Amino acid sequence: MYVPALEAAGFTLRIREPEWFEHRMFKGSDININLHVFSAGASEIERMLRFRDWLRANKIDSDKYARVKRDLAQHVWRHVENYANAKTSIIQEIMERANATE
């Protein structure tokens, strides 16, 4: 239902993970972005928004995360999941700080 609307807006469905919060990931055609879509009410939404908001408010962690992502972008990944897994430790580290402020 939402997929045709996003495709009409120029997004391409790249990842479908029904077992993980019914996650979908779309790539933008006009803008190089990853658009993540979850089922309404999925707990992962809150976690991702907390992470985003923390990075917006904390330059040190934002810069650290950007450095890790730039370093990882230099690799050729056979599967996007390998790239995602390689970011896990920095995300966990940052989320510990973000969660400590609740």
pLDDT tens sequence across 71-100 = 999 999 898 889 989 999 999 999 999 999
Instruction: Let me know whether 63 and 17 are in one domain.
Output: no
* Phi-psi group of 64: left, alpha or beta (phi > 0 → left; psi -120 to 50 → alpha; rest → beta): alpha
| Domain hosting residue 8, numbered range | 1-40
Residues 6+ apart with CB under 8 A from 16: 23, 24
Residues 63 and 32 occupy one common structural domain: no
Task: Tell me if 70 sits within 8 A of 62, measured CB to CB.
Answer: no
| pLDDT bucket at 30, cuts 50 / 70 / 90 | confident
Task: Give the chain's mean pLDDT.
Answer: 93
Chain mean position to CA 89:
14
Phi, psi of 89 (to 5 degrees): -65, -40
pTM value? Answer: 0.82
- The average pLDDT across 49-69 equals 96
User: Are both 49 and 80 inside the same structural domain?
Assistant: yes
26, 51: one domain: no
Q: Which residues contact 37 (CB under 8 A, 6 or more apart)?
A: 2, 6, 23, 24, 25, 26
Give pLDDT, residue 18: 92
pLDDT above 90 (res 31): no
